[in-house]
Structure 1
Amino acid sequence: MRIADLAGKRVAIWGFGREGRAAIAAIRRRLPQLPLTLFCSEAEMGLARAFDAALIVHGGEPDAVALAPFDVVVKSPGISAYKPALLAAREAGARVTSGTALWFAEQASSSVIAVTGTKGKSTTTALIAHLARSLGKRTALAGNIGMPMLELLGQSADLWAIELSSFQTGEAGPVELGVITSLYEEHLDWHGSRERYIDDKLKLAEVSRRLLVNATQPFLLERTAQHPQRLVFGQVDGWHVAGGLIRRGPQAVFEIARLRAPGEHNALNACAALAALEAVGLDAISAAASLAAFRPLPHRLQPLGEHGGLWWINDSISTTPLATLAALESVKGRVVTVMVGGHDRGLDWSVFVDAMRHAAPHAIVAQGANGARIADALREAGVSVHDEATDLTAAVDLARRITPPGGIVLLSPGAPSFDQFHDYAERGRRFAELAGFDGQDIVGIEGLGIA
């Protein structure tokens, strides 16, 4: 469905975040007289009316009755496609679409590398854009990484590096190359089950002419084995990590120590980006030198610096236990206090607990809504844990007291932020402030848009 197809339809927009605003603006540019109804939170109603005085604005989440009058519902990514109201609207004949789907319909001829994955997708997408630009390619960086594609509607680029969350993979149109960086359970509250989350993630494979996947994950290899043009990264005959180097087969290409983004998992993300460029016909070997100039994304193993005799690392983007394990691996051999816990969405922490049984850091501080559940599991496994901190402020105070001079305080929660904060970025900025840094210095992701 293209925006022109909305003409004469009764259209509702559900969600007034950045995606929702981008959808309203894009539709207004093409169909300025089309009546639009917005469903948003009551707190957003005033902002919505100021944004577009012609909107019909309703506060609160719509039910099936509220959506019944509409032919088309344009939903934001955070609105689960499995909400009963949306399922009922579809059953009644309404078309449910999104900003992602509208963009793909409008720009079907664009050269797109679409990246998804439980972890690593943002860094890999940004790396693809950074490396392609180093080769002189006019490249767009957009999507779930922080800029809705509709904000760039009608603009041209040689290459589109687009991040898609699991909320968006089912809305993508045909892409030249799909990339899946990793696949673990996450967002079970949105998808409803682990199986549905995996199925939704893998919908990207269905629209990808060629598919690039992480060879270090046997389950991912198994689930994508039937793709007719599947490529892999992370194995020895292609782009992989070995002996402190990023290699292309036997050829040593780049020293991992020169990466500003720490951890072997980030070196593997770089392999994914280089393999993606190679897959679309670009000179990945020449581009690799530019890895040294890539700045780590904020809130992703972001070193804040030294303060009060301690080193502080902000990994607020960590929303799964496996992401926390990867963060701890990146600082292996150092004295580390790790802070875990946040919004409880029922994820299984047993893999984390088992790893801590064998290789626990100096200290673990559990806090937030699921902190007690994590602490109980650790204690049952015989792992020492501090759980007297109920929120992030108390956790930072505790970590400061129990970490010896020269040690690292690592915020890698393994859980979303919604129990205490609006999003992971707000949590990361607050952590920086509690550590003694200026949280406002943590700016957004560089390079968004077209350059």
Structure 2
Amino acid sequence: MSVIASDRRTLVVGLGATGLSCVRYLSGKDRDLAVADSRAQPPGLQELRDQFPDMPIYLGEFDADTFAGFNELVVSPGISIAEPAIRHAAHQGATIRGDIDLFAEAADAPIIAITGSNGKTTVTSLVGEMAKAAGRKVAVGGNIGTPALELLGKGADLYVLEVSSFQLETTHELNALAATVLNVSDDHMDRYDSKMDYFQAKQRIFNGCKNAIVNLDDALSTPMARDNLRFLCFGFYRVNPETFSTRDDEHGTWITFGFDNLILASELGLMGSHNISNVMAALALGHAAGFPMEVMLQTAREFKGLPHRCEWVRQVAGVDYINDSKGTNVGATAAAIQSLAPDNGKIVLLAGGDGKGADFSPLVEPVRTCCRAAVLFGVDAGRMAEALGDSIAIHREDSLAAAVSRAADIAKAGDRVLLSPACASFDMFRDYMDRGNQFRQLVEGL
């Protein structure tokens, strides 16, 4: 790339898929552009060199003086803006941005934005399917699938984005048509000083928002700033105007809007009561965007969910095996346990991994009331066992294979063996998908 002379010097910090998308996007702008990554061989390095052979690249330990030479840093979500070199550049006057901030500046269609500790990928995917069924030319991506900047310029009339707290840290105004913080539970406590810091990062999704979708069952879902915001709400057993909720009658549990019954929970394609909440959130987001209600409800009937998210694998000797490997934090696992507890049996929980500094104590009550036993593995198995105490029979295993075998021995007909680790996977697996795929293979071998 021939560098265009400019007084706007931009450093893309962090490579990978997001960093590459930033480079591609910014390379067409009037920027003096360079890339930095703390790794010697970051993913996407060869692709960067092939496409931009003249691009300056700084690899290895971040250098504060180098960073201070740029007046704009575009930071990938995997890199904390608390890094000393980034903080030094900010103190020298550099603007700190991210890919979602760049996207919001350039977006040529309305944005629906979803964040939350749990459920955001399911809700994002479901809203995307609702939009397609409604005849919208929708582009779905962000923290899942296609990086946000690569969605631009392809004729979309609606964007549906999953956004993470890391991405929101560097987003000034998203200006979404509709946005939601689905829920907030302890996650990424290895990156944030407190749950409040994590909450405040999530809250940035509402900056410039027109319609705030609020979870009445989680106080941390409510926007702190309310000026010029229309509220649409959802929550269990909170029937009110402008609210998606639930009520029970002789037919079962209904999802409602206002005072009208919409759909029975038993008609949904998704499994577990926490997914009733996800469907309510998706309906609220779609309603704010003007999707026809009947189209949304039919999509909710047909949508079967995503791999590794409360995914039924098979039944063996009367025991259901469920893959919730995407349950990578305490809140997700607690919700899965409570949602999937069988009427005439118990859960045998498979959990453990890298807890990312989280507090495991919120698992105690759902485990005590819903589980027959917990089979723990991974680097934080001991810490989790200590938190659970004597609330349940606990077994420790050195591998997932041994854990599955132990769970099969413990479970009785009518039980469910649930892999929902409450932890990240990187201590033993490539990622949560690798963990879930290995679980599937082990269950198929029983």
Bin the TM-score by the shorter chain.
Answer: 0.7 to 0.9
Of the three residues 381, 386, 389, the one matched with 1:376 is: 386
- The match for 2:189 is 188
Code of the residue aligned with 1:79 in structure 2: it is: I
Distance 1:360 1:273, change over 3 A: closer
Matches of 2:179 and 2:408 in 1, distance apart? 43
Q: What is the CA-CA distance between 1:150 and the residue it aligns to?
A: 0.8
* Corresponding position: 1:353 with 2:364: yes
C-alpha displacement of 1:43: 3.1
CA distance in 2, matches of 1:173, 1:75: 16
Q: Does 1:280 align with 2:289?
A: yes
Q: 1:422 aligns with which of 398, 414, 430?
A: 430
CA contact (8 A) 2:127 2:286 kept: yes
Matches within 5 A, 1:26-37: 26-30=25-29, 34-37=32-35
- Shift of the 224–241 alpha-carbon distance from structure 1 to 2, 3 Å rule, reads farther
Partner Cα separation in structure 2 for residue 219 and residue 100 of structure 1:
22
1:297 aligns with 306
Report what 2:374 is aligned to.
Answer: 364
Task: Measure how far apart 1:175 and its partner are.
Answer: 1.4
Identity of aligned residues (%): 30
The residue correspondences of 1:49-448 to structure 2 (distance < 5 A) are: 49-50=49-50, 52-107=52-107, 109-170=108-169, 171=171, 172-221=173-222, 223=224, 228-234=229-235, 235-237=238-240, 238-243=243-248, 244-306=253-315, 310-333=319-342, 334-357=345-368, 359-379=369-389, 381-387=390-396, 389-404=397-412, 407-436=415-444
Instruction: Describe the shift of the 1:396–1:43 C-alpha distance in structure 2 as closer, same or farther (beyond 3 A).
Output: farther
The TM-score normalised by the length of structure 2 is: 0.88
Bigger RCO of structures 1 and 2 (CA < 8 A, at least 6 apart): 1
TM-score normalised to the size of structure 1? Answer: 0.87
Q: Is the 8 A contact 1:185 1:198 kept in 2?
A: no
How far residue 247 of structure 1 moved from its aligned partner, in angstroms, is 1.5
Residue aligning to 2:41: 43
- In the TM superposition, residue 236 of structure 1 has moved relative to its aligned partner by 0.7
CA distance in 2, matches of 1:329, 1:103: 38
SS in 2 for 1:365: strand
Whether the 8 Å CA contact 2:137–2:157 is kept in 1: the answer is yes
C-alpha spacing 1:46/1:148, structure 2 compared with 1 (3 Å): closer
Whether the 8 Å CA contact 2:354–2:423 is kept in 1: the answer is yes
Task: State the Cα deviation string for residues 368-413 of structure 1 (Å, max 9, x = none).
Answer: 121101111222x4422112x1343332232233334664321101
Offset from partner CA, 1:57-116 (integer Å, 9 cap, x none): 333341423423323222111111222221111111222222111111112x42111111
Please report how far the alpha carbon of residue 280 of structure 1 lies from its aligned counterpart in structure 2 after TM superposition.
2.7
2:254 touches 2:263 (CA, 8 Å); kept in 1? yes
Q: Matched residue of 2:262: which SS?
A: strand
Query: Which aligned pairs between 1:4-15 and structure 2 lie closer than 5 A?
Result: 7-15=6-14
Q: Which runs of 5+ in 2 are unaligned?
A: none
Aligned pair in 2 of structure 1 residues 28, 372: CA closer, same or farther (>3 Å)?
same
Q: 1:217 Cα shift?
A: 1.9
